Amino acid sequence: MKIVTISREFGSGGRELGKRLAQQLGFAYCDREIVAAVARKSELSEEYAARAGEQAPGFPLTFRRTLSLPAGQQPGMKVLLAQREVLKELAARGEDCVIVGRGADVVLAEYRPLNLFVYAAPEAKLRRCRERAPEGEQLAGRELSRRIRQVDAGRAQYYRLISGRTWGQKEHYHLCVNTTGLNLKSVAPWAAGFVQSWFREEGSL
C-alpha cells in the first residue's frame, strides 16, 4: 500500500495539489471524510473537528478555555485522539491514498508514507486566499495576513505536540515544493512521476 501525505502552509495550494495528485495516480483522496469520521467518533461538530484536528489543543483561545477540564472531556484532545484512530483505520484499509494535513506523516509513520511539504511566498498565499474566499467573506490584506500566520502557527504547534519536531523543516519531508508562481495543474503530472519513482525505489529496498 502507498500513502502520500501532504503537509502545507495555509494558502499554498497544498490541498489542490493533493487532489490533482490523487487523480493522476488513481489514489483515493482523503480529506473531508476524515473530518466527518472524527466528528462522529468524538461527538462534536464537523466544523469543530476540522479546526481542532490541525491545531494543538489549547490553541487558539477558544480551545484554551477548556483546558481546565480533565483530558478525556477536553474537546480539543478528544478530537486529536479520535483523529489518530480514524487515520489508523484508514491506513488499515490498505488502499493507496493521498492524505492532506492532520499530521498523517507522523501518525502513520510505520507505513513509511511519502511525505511532501507545500509552501509559498507570503504574497502568493495572500493572493490565493483572496481569490478563493467566498463572496462576502473577503478579509482586508492585513487581517488576512494575520489569519494565515495564525493558522500556520496552530499547525506548527500541533505538529510539535504530536512529534516533538519543528513543522516545515525540510529534513522531515521527501520533497518540498514552493508553489509561488506555479500552475498546479501543469505541475501535478511531474509530481505524480516523482511519487511513482519514489515508491518503485522503496519497493526494491
Short-list 3, 2, 4, CA closest to 191: 4
Integer Cα distance of 121 and 201 in angstroms: 32
Integer Cα distance of 24 and 44 in angstroms: 34
Return the number of the residue (97 or 177) whose C-beta is nearest its own copies.
177
- List b or e across 27-50, with b for residues whose CB sees 16 or more CB atoms inside 10 angstroms: bebbbeebbebbbebbebeeebbb
Q: Which of 131, 135, 137, 201 binds its own copies (CB under 8 A)?
A: 201
Return the number of the residue (59 or 119) whose C-beta is nearest its own copies.
119
Return the number of the residue (36 or 182) whose C-beta is nearest its own copies.
182
Estimate the crossing angle of helix 14-25 against helix 184-204, to 10 degrees.
60
Count other Cβ atoms within 10 Å, centred on residue 183.
9
Mask for 55-74, x = binds its own copies (CB under 8 A):
--------------------
Q: Which stretch binds its own copies (CB under 8 A): 32-40, 45-53, 141-149, 189-197?
A: 189-197
User: Residue 131 CB, nearest distance to its own copies (Å)?
Assistant: 16
Q: Which of 29, 48, 119, 159 binds its own copies (CB under 8 A)?
A: 119
Interacting positions 136-175 with its own copies (CB under 8 A): 168, 170-171, 173-175
State the DSSP H helix or E strand holding residue 115, giving kind and residue range, or none if neither.
strand 114-119
Return the number of the residue (41 or 172) whose C-beta is nearest its own copies.
172
